[in-house]
Amino acid sequence: MLVQIENLSISFQTAHGLSHAVRNVSLTLGAEKLGIVGESGSGKSLTARSILKLLPDSAILTADTLTFDGIDILRADASAMRAIRGRRAGLVMQDPKFSLNPVMSAGQQIAEAWRAHRKNAGRREAMSAAIDLLAQVQIRDPVRVAAAYPHELSGGMGQRVMIAMMLAPDPELLIADEPTSALDATVQAEILRLMEDLVARRGMALMLISHDLPLVSHFCDRVAVMYAGRIVEEVAASALRGATHPYTRGLLDCIPMLQHPQPRLQTLARDPSWLA
């Protein structure tokens, strides 16, 4: 197993005592596509980011097991984490506008990511690798895009550049945190198909974090549904329609459907027993 998480808890110190953002979460991930779904504040992002130890300074992280390819993340020091972050596991975030450097061209940024993990590579070699990567993320005119600056790219194009940058060091795991929520529906489908294809071709693991249950189940093998810091249900994506937990069912039922109109949408009645 590439990632093993057992009894992961993340809490924050507040004025009113400890607040628990993630409680006793256990997950494993191999070379597959795992979706983590939940509403805002469910702890889905924190859970995924704990693998990279990319948590706010004030977060208190505890777990029985938290390993990446056998490396104990809880005990890993800063240099061990740097060897994982970016190199062996990449993170694609929601808005490429904020995660790309505005004063470097797209090509330069990808080339830099590529060189950072290859000691003896030259500048020219890196740039041609960058253009090759841009072609891999299905950009039609990679040479032109490589010379472009982030503000000259559309949202979908920026997200492709971001993915190319994360792929540069040949990672084993790609964590995508709401990678398409800032994009239009047509572009969203393209980006997800692209990620699906790349992951399959490279034998990578993908962790897709999203609030959109149907979308995630469409693209992933397995879906973990989080509610208030817990995983309430873990199902095979193909079996999602047969999910049993009332929260998962409720989430599916309250989405307006084009094909199955209802005069009034069902709402989610939150049961306090889900927190137990």
Partner 1 sequence: MINVEDLRVRFGEMEAVKGVSFAVAEGDSFGIVGESGSGKSTVLRAIAGLNASWTGRMSVGGELLTPRRPKSFFRRVQMVFQDPYGSLHPRQTVDRALSEPLLVHGIRDVESRILRALADVALPAAARFRYPHQLSGGQRQRVAIARALMIEPAVLLLDEPTSALDVSVQAEVLNLLAELQTRRRLTYILVSHNLAVVAHLCPMIGVMQGGEMVEMLSAAALRAGGARHPHTIALRSLTVELEEA
Give the residues lining the site for partner 1 (CB under 8 A): 39-40, 155, 184-186, 189, 211-215, 217-218, 240, 250-251, 254-262, 264-268
Residue closer to partner 1 (CB basis): 141 or 184: 184
Min dist CB 214 to partner 1, Å, is: 5
The answer to whether the Cα torsion of 201, 99, 220, 9 is positive or negative is positive
Residue closer to partner 1 (CB basis): 112 or 196: 196
- Cα–Cα separations (whole angstroms), residue 239 to 57, 244, 257, 260, 267: 38, 10, 19, 20, 22
Residue closer to partner 1 (CB basis): 79 or 262: 262
Min dist CB 194 to partner 1, Å, is: 15
The tokens describing 237, both together, are 């994506």
Residue closer to partner 1 (CB basis): 169 or 250: 250
Min dist CB 265 to partner 1, Å, is: 4
Min dist CB 198 to partner 1, Å, is: 20
- What does the alpha-carbon distance between residue 62 and residue 55 come to, in Å, rounded to a whole number? 12
Residue closer to partner 1 (CB basis): 254 or 275: 254
Residue 149 neighbours by CB under 8 Å, 6+ apart: 102, 103, 104, 105, 106
Min dist CB 268 to partner 1, Å, is: 4
Min dist CB 65 to partner 1, Å, is: 31
- What does the alpha-carbon distance between residue 93 and residue 162 come to, in Å, rounded to a whole number? 8
Residue closer to partner 1 (CB basis): 52 or 223: 223
